[in-house]
Amino acid sequence: MSTGPVTTNQGADDALGTVEGALASLRSGRPVLVVDEQEQARPGHVVVPAALAEVPWVAWAIRYTSGLLCAALPQDRADRVDLPPMVRSGNSGGAAYTVAIDAARGVTTGISAADRTRTARVLADPDSERDDLTRPGHMLGLRTGAEGVLGHRGFAETAVDLCTLAGLSPVGLITAVTELPEGRDGTAALAQRYALPVVTVGELIQYRLVHGDGRKGRVARGKRRSATTLHGQFDVLDYHDHVTGAGHFALVSPTPTVESPSAMVHVECLTGDVLGDAACDCRSRFDEALANTAVHGGAVISPRHESGPANTATKPDCDGVVAASAVETGAAAAIVADLGLTEIHFDRESTAMAELIPSAPHVAG
């Protein structure tokens, strides 16, 4: 149980400024602060885990924000308690407001912090049904899509994803931070004053691209088979990508090494890898990676492009290779971690991969 809001002169610990720090905060019933680094004009938002909502923190959120608390929840959860979109037509790309509700029991007017805490708890309860809520009420719902923040870059999706990754009910209270009397940026001031974690939407997207959605990992290991190449025998491991649906693979050398084995990441290129296009050096890079791995051990990882079909596009500045996107990079990082490899080499530069590898988790086989 959270101890409630307490001011501090020490500011937020640096460790809190990570997704892991935010998840730990949510699990303890404390809020987190979220900002969208791509839209700095937009205010930061407070996220309170609905399943662990407590009156002191809800009252605190009301005090330092617009006061309009919304409950972000997945579409299937909204359908279970009969919370349809408030407007049937309109922009379907983002979260959709639902009719306003209150808890059917245990509340008075519905507007107090205690009443809104009660409503949040009812929404987070997986056993709640339609009759556990009254309409109209004082809390708006926000329906989010199944892909979460990977499908739409929004605060509602961020709240649902954070609560899910924390192992909590996928319902989060969100509200926009307002300026404090001191005139400082509200989000930074609140984080420092109450030692709360601040995460960006981009950081959460990056985290999800490696770690999955909280219910299943980013990739799942499939079949293992043997393959004899020009450079020797390799074990081939298949991986299914839960985000794109693509099938990736890793060629693992059985050669033991005295040092830490490494991984070479090579994004697929049909024109070079398969057709041997002379204008593309991808095949030679792939062969070089296999030859090196056969001698020193480790693996060659080949993530497929997120669109699914093999890449046939060419770009003169990269010899026929379309650069790996963040989605593909995340898949490669998850596979690297599953194989237990830590030393990474790239047949082409990838600063995104270098940023993702340190936090990549092992995935379920």
Domains of the chain: 14-211 (3.90.870.10), 219-359 (3.40.50.10990)
Residue 209 has pLDDT above 50, yes or no: yes
Phi, psi of 205 (to 5 degrees): -60, -45
- For residue 116, name the pLDDT band (cuts at 50, 70, 90): very high
pLDDT digits (tens, 9 = 90+) for 283-304: 888 888 899 888 888 999 988 8
pLDDT digits (tens, 9 = 90+) for 80-98: 999 999 887 655 456 789 9
Upstream peptide bond of 126 is cis (omega within 30 degrees of 0): no
pLDDT at 257: 64
**C-alpha to C-alpha distance for 109 and 122, rounded to whole angstroms:** 16
Q: What is the CA radius of gyration of the chain?
A: 24
Let me know the angle formed at the C-alpha of 205 by 71 and 94, rounded to the nearest 5 degrees.
45
* pLDDT-wise least confident of 67-81, 150-164, 257-271: 257-271
pLDDT at 9: 56
Strands 262-265 and 232-241: unpaired
**C-alpha to C-alpha distance for 221 and 248, rounded to whole angstroms:** 9
Beta bridge partners of 225: 236
Residue 234 has pLDDT above 50, yes or no: yes
End-to-end CA distance of the chain: 34
- For residue 182, name the pLDDT band (cuts at 50, 70, 90): low
Better pLDDT: 6 or 203: 203
**C-alpha to C-alpha distance for 116 and 131, rounded to whole angstroms:** 17
Beta bridge partners of 227: 234
